[in-house]
């Protein structure tokens, strides 16, 4: 009996090994496929992590530029406001100077008119004196 049990065990074992060999290549293939898939996923994850790090670095760089440009914009806006105020002050000064110029021009015109009148009066006096001298010269001759 022991021999029969041993023969049955051997036959069962041999059939089991054959079945395992038949199923194991598929299992091995599945294991290899799964390992390749895991490696591919790991590589993809590593690539995505690298892209994420680069995107974060680029974002930080762009944000720093944004902050810098906002600061420069604020400075330029303040300078623009100062220049506008100075321009308005210059316009007011220009209007004052134009008003003073108009007053001075008017005074100069008045002075020129007075000078012309004086010159005209002096010419008339000179002419009258010349005529008076001529009459005396004629009367004395």
Confidence category of residue 135, pLDDT binned at 50, 70, 90: low
Q: pTM of the entire structure?
A: 0.46
* pLDDT tens track for 64-100: 999 999 999 999 999 999 999 999 999 999 999 999 9
Within 10 Å of residue 68's Cβ, how many Cβ atoms? 10
* pLDDT tens track for 8-52: 667 676 766 676 666 666 656 667 778 888 999 999 999 999 999
């Amino acid at each position: 009996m022991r021999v029969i049990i041993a023969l049955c065990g051997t036959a069962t074992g041999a059939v089991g090994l054959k079945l395992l060999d038949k199923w194991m290549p598929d299992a091995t293939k599945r294991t290899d496929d799964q390992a390749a898939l895991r490696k591919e996923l790991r590589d993809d994850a590593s690539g995505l992590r690298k892209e994420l790090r680069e995107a974060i670095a680029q974002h930080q760089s762009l944000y720093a530029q944004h902050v810098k440009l906002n600061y420069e914009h604020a400075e330029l806006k303040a300078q623009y406001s100062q220049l506008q105020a100075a321009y308005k002050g210059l316009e007011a000064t220009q209007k004052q100077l134009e008003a003073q110029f108009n007053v001075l021009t008017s005074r100069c015109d008045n002075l020129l008119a007075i000078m012309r009148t004086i010159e005209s009066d002096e010419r008339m006096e000179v002419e009258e004196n010349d005529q008076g001298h001529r009459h005396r010269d004629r009367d004395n001759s």
